[in-house]
Amino acid sequence: MRSYRWYAGGDVNATFGLVVDNMTNLVVLAGLLIGVFHFPADLVLYRMVPGTALGVLVGDLVYTWLACRLARR
């Protein structure tokens, strides 16, 4: 069985780009919910934003597990 590389050239740059893109989208959407649609700021900032972050983290962990399982095949 071959050894699997955990990272390759450009991974850090791609991760940084993805994080910046996701944070930008989250800030813009939170601003729209609060400013345009008049959602309560407490709801958006203390419930929706952390819930979204937790959902992304869990999804990333699942995708990592699936990728490792696929790499073993």
Domains of the chain by residue range: 12-72
Cβ neighbourhood burial of 34 (10 Å; 0-12, 13-18, 19+) = middle
Distance CA 54, CA 48 (A): 10
pLDDT tens figures, 4-58: 787 888 999 999 999 999 999 999 999 999 999 999 999 999 999 999 999 999 9
pLDDT of res. 71: 86
